[in-house]
Structure 1
Amino acid sequence: MGIIKLKNIRTFSYHGCLVEESKIGSDYTVDLEIKTDLRKSMITDELADTVDYVHLNRIVMEEMAIRSKLLEHVAHRIVKRTFDELPQVSRVLLSVSKVNPPIGGDVEAVTIQIEEFRA
């Protein structure tokens, strides 16, 4: 088995419960880690024998572009699509962070993290 990580994927998105957040948007970062079997691709050196991180990045970017009130909701969609589209993925560890959230304080980011295993 092996791990593929995409670190600090940066997006500008419109998530949040406040009306203002749907209009002005905010910066977000996403960290995605998947577990998969890398043994075949280590031998063959073929992209078809592994999980393409371009595909993973596309899933994140497309789901982050769809407005959600809660980070938990957008994170769930990313995990679901990853499992639906990439059957060789056995585990997903995902963090979604809103940079400089409007919570009335000096906070660098607020982050939710979820870990899911293929059923």
Structure 2
Amino acid sequence: MGTIKIKNIRVYAYHGCLIEEGKIGSDYRVDLAVKANLSKSAKTDNLSDTVDYVLLNKIVKEEMAIRSQLLEEVAKRILDRILFEISLVKKAEVAVSKLNPPIGGNVAMVTIEMSKSRK
């Protein structure tokens, strides 16, 4: 078993409960980790034997482009799609952060973290 991590995927998106958030958008950061058996790809040196992090990045960007009120809903969609599309992944963990959230204070970011395992 091994882990593939993608850190600090930067995305501009339109999530949030406020009407203004849907109009002006905000900066987001997504961190992702997937667990998979990487022993075959370590031997074959073949991309088809591993989890393609280009595909992981694509999934994150596409799901972040779909407006949601809650970051939890976005994270769930990312996890569901990874496990649906990439059979090699046994577990996925995602952290979705809204940078400089409009919460009436000097806050760098707010983050939700979720994980999901294959049954």
Tell me, in whole angstroms, the C-alpha distance in 1 between the residues paired with 2:113 and 2:106. 21
Q: Percent identity?
A: 61
Instruction: Please name the residue that 2:12 is paired with.
Output: 12
Q: Which residues of 2 match residues 36-115 of structure 1 at below 5 A? A: 36-115=36-115
- Indicate the SS of the match to 1:20: helix
Tell me, in whole angstroms, the C-alpha distance in 2 between the residues paired with 1:73 and 1:98. 14
Unaligned ranges ≥5, structure 2: none
Instruction: Please name the residue that 2:28 is paired with.
Output: 28
Tell me, in whole angstroms, the C-alpha distance in 1 between the residues paired with 2:13 and 2:24. 9
Deviating 4+ runs (over 4 angstroms): none
Unaligned ranges ≥5, structure 1: none
What letter is aligned with 2:70? Answer: L
- Indicate the SS of the match to 1:22: helix
Cα RMSD, aligned residues only: 0.4
Tell me, in whole angstroms, the C-alpha distance in 2 between the residues paired with 1:63 and 1:83. 14
What letter is aligned with 2:42? Answer: M
Q: How many residue pairs get matched?
A: 119
What letter is aligned with 2:71? Answer: L
Tell me, in whole angstroms, the C-alpha distance in 2 between the residues paired with 1:110 and 1:42. 36
What letter is aligned with 2:26? Answer: S
Under a length normalisation based on structure 1, what TM-score does the superposition of the two structures give? Answer: 0.99
What letter is aligned with 2:15? Answer: H
Tell me, in whole angstroms, the C-alpha distance in 2 between the residues paired with 1:66 and 1:115. 20
